[in-house]
Chains A and B, each alone.
Chain A
């Protein structure tokens, strides 16, 4: 719980006014509806997920972002090249919804019962950041020298 609160705080403090400038970029269409997102330290969180008096985002999507780093995915779960963030979403109890940006590009979102949402990519990114932080703390093995093939084009 303490970890969750700390992550919520980190998310809240990284939300700056500069993010508002990206609002248009961070708006998507879902069928006939449009929804916009906060950009918080590389993750997108639905606008209706507001800061509480304790300066934390308490919606289900924010909680999922905090929990994502602790999950491990099996190879089987990713069969068929599934978007790892989307698989994380399902494991966190969310539902996949596909949105379209203003250019028509698709983006998968993770929607929760309280109607809060984040992107699948945000969940994967949250996990990746935690992994990177862990591996940075460990000494790296030496890389062997390698051969460089001659290209024949």
Chain B
């Protein structure tokens, strides 16, 4: 990249940032080319049998698909029932980047004939520093580093804890009430006694299966181990200190009473999430220490960011200028540079929106081309997930990460298929901006216009090994 480009690019970016505060204008998607393609990431649903069912595999995978031959080809024509990747629901946990990273890793495993069992919860629990003051929760790079360094327990090993929110809450409650007792005068035996009592009373009040009771015994033993660690009090004390620091550092020093309260609530929430993360980390360490699977080779992270990263040549700039020519108040010079493009956009929200939407559209289109070429999904980071999906109100810059898997024209509009981590249902399915695939729960179609808007794509990550 030339020195001039390095100097000019920040101008373009900063001008876009300056204009970002203006009302978002939805731009139309690329109308010329919306060739359908989707990684056949068949999730648990009508296209797949229930877990454990014995069936003729390829028939199950491609049953009901119009072009069965093409479907089988996407399954590498091996006629095998690849283990499918279930739809995840992150609930009220802010772990979308880990969900997206685990999604890509699980797809790779499934496509390679392996079991898609990377646990996003395990990955998230290895990076509790996400909750420290000044840290952004949206950090795909750190999620990848964490996986490279720590590997992951399998989802199955943690299933009863991570899938049973109630049990998980009980663990946290018992763990932390014990921790507080230990730090503020309680004795170590209380940790074991209280934790086990909480776990047992929760489980015994229900119609527990032998598996659940066995888990209770295991969890009771884990609380013993944690409690028996010599430095447990110090560790608990340090953790509570960090929680206090998070509360203090995140609180807004000034503002309206409402803003102060909001900052206080948020600080409290972050502190709680940090504590919960550390509790999970400890429990997971004991639950599956001997089953951690580490990657054979480190996964790399290549990021392409909007705007500008995919517009590097004079030809690119010319194409961009032509596409948005009608939005500029006067014609651009014949030789378009970032400099004169930036100058022409200054104070012109319509031109800026057009340029940004054009860049985003092309990045998305190129990304789907790469997915098709390489047979691997990518991670897509968007600015405002709830805005994309039809909601509005007091929201802005609500970043979210999902997995990009394809493109298709639906109801006359071009759009992109993503795997989201908000469960298997389609909460905002009638917004017109999104559609869900009932045959593949968790697959969500988002219109290209939405993804190219200011709420749309910010970055695309390739996390292949």
Task: Give A contacts to B, CB under 8 Å.
Answer: 30-33, 72-87, 89-90, 95-108, 111, 119-122, 124-125, 127-129, 131-132, 135, 143-153
Return the contact of A32 from the options B30, B208, B391 (Cβ within 8 A). Answer: B208
Question: Which chain A residues border B402 with CB–CB below 8 Å?
Answer: 81
**Chain A residue with Cβ nearest B213:** A32
Can you report 24 residue pairs joining A to B where beta carbons are below 8 Å apart?
A: A31-B160, A32-B211, A72-B394, A74-B262, A75-B397, A79-B399, A81-B399, A85-B422, A86-B89, A89-B92, A90-B92, A105-B45, A107-B425, A119-B423, A129-B430, A131-B393, A132-B431, A146-B27, A147-B354, A148-B28, A148-B32, A149-B361, A150-B33, A151-B365
Question: Which chain A residues border B164 with CB–CB below 8 Å?
Answer: 30-31, 97-98
The answer on a CB contact under 8 Å between A86 and B30 is no
The verdict on A121 contacting B422 (CB below 8 Å), with A82-B93, A132-B431 known, is: yes
Alpha-carbon distance A135/B399, docked complex (angstroms): 24
Return the contact of A103 from the options B44, B209, B362, B430 (Cβ within 8 A). Answer: B44
B405 contacts chain A at the CB level, 8 A cutoff: no
Task: Give B contacts to A, CB under 8 Å.
Answer: 25-33, 43-45, 48, 50-51, 84, 86-97, 99, 130, 137-138, 160, 162-167, 169, 206-209, 211-212, 262, 266, 269, 319, 323-324, 326-327, 350, 354, 357-358, 361-362, 365-366, 368-369, 385-386, 390-402, 421-431, 441-442
Question: Which chain A residues border B25 with CB–CB below 8 Å?
Answer: 143-144
Question: Which chain B residues border A98 with CB–CB below 8 Å?
Answer: 89, 91, 162-165
Alpha-carbon distance A105/B85, docked complex (angstroms): 9
The answer on a CB contact under 8 Å between B428 and A124 is yes
Alpha-carbon distance A82/B324, docked complex (angstroms): 36
Question: Which chain B residues border A95 with CB–CB below 8 Å?
Answer: 165-166, 169
The answer on a CB contact under 8 Å between A80 and B44 is no
The answer on a CB contact under 8 Å between A106 and B86 is yes
Question: Which chain A residues border B91 with CB–CB below 8 Å?
Answer: 82-83, 86, 96, 98, 108, 120
Q: How far is the CB of A118 from chain B (nearest CB, A)?
A: 11
The verdict on A148 contacting B31 (CB below 8 Å), with A31-B166, A95-B165, A100-B163 known, is: yes
Query: Which of A84, A105, A149 has the most C-beta atoms of chain B within 10 angstroms of its own C-beta?
Result: A149
Question: Which chain A residues border B48 with CB–CB below 8 Å?
Answer: 103
The answer on a CB contact under 8 Å between B92 and A105 is no
The answer on a CB contact under 8 Å between A96 and B26 is no
The verdict on A143 contacting B425 (CB below 8 Å), with A33-B207, A103-B50, A108-B89 known, is: no
Return the contact of A84 from the options B96, B386, B397, B399 (Cβ within 8 A). Answer: B386
Question: Which chain A residues border B165 with CB–CB below 8 Å?
Answer: 95-98, 108
Question: Which chain B residues border A150 with CB–CB below 8 Å?
Answer: 30, 32-33, 319, 323
The answer on a CB contact under 8 Å between B350 and A83 is no
Alpha-carbon distance A150/B169, docked complex (angstroms): 51
Alpha-carbon distance A87/B92, docked complex (angstroms): 6
Question: Which chain B residues border A111 with CB–CB below 8 Å?
Answer: 166
**Chain A residue with Cβ nearest B138:** A80
The verdict on A74 contacting B395 (CB below 8 Å), with A106-B88, A125-B428 known, is: yes
Question: Which chain B residues border A127 with CB–CB below 8 Å?
Answer: 391
**Chain A residue with Cβ nearest B396:** A75
The answer on a CB contact under 8 Å between B86 and A73 is no
The answer on a CB contact under 8 Å between A131 and B391 is yes
Question: Which chain B residues border A101 with CB–CB below 8 Å?
Answer: 44, 424, 441
The answer on a CB contact under 8 Å between A146 and B357 is yes
Q: How far is the CB of A5 from chain B (nearest CB, A)?
A: 25
Query: Which of A73, A128, A147 has the most C-beta atoms of chain B within 10 angstroms of its own C-beta?
Result: A147
